Amino acid sequence: MKILILKVQTIGDTLLTSPLISNLKKYYVDAVIDMIVNEGTRQVLEFNPDVNRLIEYKRESYRNLKKWQRLIKNLQFLKNIRRSKYDLVIDLDEGDRGAFVTWVSGAKIKLGSSTISNRVLRSVYTHYLPARGNRHIVEIYLDALRVLKVPIFNKEVKYFWSKDDEQFALKKLANVNDFIHIHPFSRGWFKDIDEHIVVKIIDYCEKELGIKTALTAASNPRELDKLDSILKSCNSNPLNLGGQLSLTQVGALNSQAKLFIGVDTAIMHISAANDTPTIAFFGPTASYTWGPWDNQSGYANYHRGGGLQINNKHRVLSEKRNCMPCNNDGCNNTLVSDCLKCLNISSIKKTIREMLT
């Protein structure tokens, strides 16, 4: 059987499809599973042994082309999908583009959302996924198995990297024993916590608890500038790895950490996939959908109430505000979230101390 899964979204979204992939492979033992992913997200599945081929949809690159060039690229992309002759297509997105690709595939069995706005495109599916509701995204993706009446053997999110990645990460950790991995940024600026809080967390870990902190950040100027500002304000000497690691190398590094501290971002999901105890700060986004998944329990019990939420070895920390989660890009879409600027540092310190001991 040839299976195609569509997930043209962010890095974290893409990683969280791994339980769906592994269950499909376990049930359809001889299946060949390909995935269409967004440009720049392939690293989270690149070393996954259950994935045969990753097909990047280069939306950003195509935007820089002339209209006729973009048309040719898209036609080539669709032709490639059609030629592959898939038996089953699972569209995990909820957009017209995914529905169109599903139709072009010519697959006999086609799963997708019933919420597609275009009625004609919505009708291309042979099976519809149920309403998402206020559930964790891992459970939402596993709905495809429930619709197909495929048993769910496990609910583990898995992340893989190469031996070279592991060796590179270990070199960066030379002379470092126990450490806390801190990744305080997200591509969505509105998910970042206040820089002064990050400084207090670093100094608390390094000076009061006596444990090293290793800081990571993407190689983009915004994150590196903010990291530089944080480091200048610290009264301690954390290990600065900002912009020095690939995504898979960050995964290898995180797997060695005693604890991870960060925001709602792909690195948080990688940490949870590694079974590294994780503290995640949430504001405008919904923790019950995107909170760190616990592999041991195969369950997420986060809610709207805010405050400290415990899910086995992982913790979510947020303020208690009636407006949360708003799912906006910051307050009034300003890219600044007030609910992430006034977090209680005493509660944070207490949580760090408890999780380490």
CATH number of the domain at 299, please: 3.40.50.2000
For residues 126 and 188, membership in a common domain is answered with: no
Provide the percentage of residues in the chain whose pLDDT is more than 90.
85
> Are both 207 and 312 inside the same structural domain?
yes
Asked if residue 157 is part of any domain, the answer here is no
pLDDT at res. 312:
93
Q: Is 239 a domain residue?
A: yes
Residue 222 and residue 216 in contact, taking contact as beta carbons nearer than 8 Å: no
Does the residue 158 lie in any domain? no
Q: How far apart are CA 137 and CA 300, in angstroms?
A: 10
pLDDT at 306: 87
Query: pLDDT digits over 203-242, tens only?
Result: 999 999 999 999 999 999 999 999 999 999 999 999 999 9
Residues 142 and 268 in one domain: no
Cα(1)–Cα(312) distance, rounded to whole angstroms? Answer: 37
In this structure, are 203 and 95 located in the same domain? no
The rounded distance, in Å, linking the Cα atoms of 199 and 8 is: 35
Would you say 72 and 90 are in contact if contact means Cβ atoms under 8 Å apart? no
Q: Which of 100, 116, 148 is the last residue of a domain?
A: 148
Taken in order 59, 63, 64, 66, the sign of the CA dihedral is: positive
156, part of any domain: no
- The arrangement of strands across the sheet holding 278-281 comes to 239-240, 212-215, 179-183, 259-263, 278-281, 314-318, 307-311
- Residue 154 falls inside a structural domain: no
Domain-located, residue 285: yes
Neighbours of 21 (CB within 10 A): 22
* Shared-domain flag, residues 120 and 263: no
Residue 280 in domain: yes
Domain-terminating residue out of 148, 180, 214: 148
**What average pLDDT does the segment 91-102 reach?**
95
Tally the domains of the chain. Answer: 2
pLDDT at 322: 87
Residue with the bigger pLDDT between 60 and 21: it is: 21
Do 171 and 305 belong to one domain? Answer: yes
Please indicate, yes or no, if residue 181 is contained in any of the structural domains.
Answer: yes
The answer on 219 and 270 residing in a single domain is yes
Do 71 and 216 sit in the same domain of this protein?
Answer: no
Distances (CA, A) of 34 to 46, 215, 287: 11, 34, 29
Strands 314-318 and 307-311: antiparallel
Q: Please report which confidence band the pLDDT of residue 193 belongs to, taking 50, 70 and 90 as the band edges.
A: very high
Model pLDDT for residues 32-83, shown as the tens digit of each residue: 999 999 999 999 999 999 999 999 998 888 888 888 888 898 899 999 999 9
Label residue 16 by pLDDT band (50, 70, 90): very high
Among residues 148, 176, 207, which one ends one of the domains?
A: 148
Which structural domain range is residue 15 located in? 2-148
Region 178-192: what's the mean pLDDT? 94
For the cut 90, the answer to whether the pLDDT of residue 275 exceeds it is yes
For position 11, what pLDDT does the model report? 96
Do 169 and 119 lie in one domain? The reply is no
What is the average pLDDT value for the chain, to the nearest integer?
95
Tens digits of residue pLDDT in 293-312: 999 999 899 998 889 999 99
What pLDDT, on a 0 to 100 scale, did the predictor assign at position 58? 87
Looking at the structure, tell me whether residues 115 and 222 fall in a common domain: no
Q: Does residue 100 sit in the same domain as residue 174? A: no
Higher local confidence (pLDDT), 15 or 66: 15
pTM, 2 dp:
0.95
Q: What is the pLDDT of residue 227?
A: 97
pLDDT at residue 281, rounded to an integer: 97
Examine the domain organization and report whether 180 and 108 are in the same domain.
Answer: no
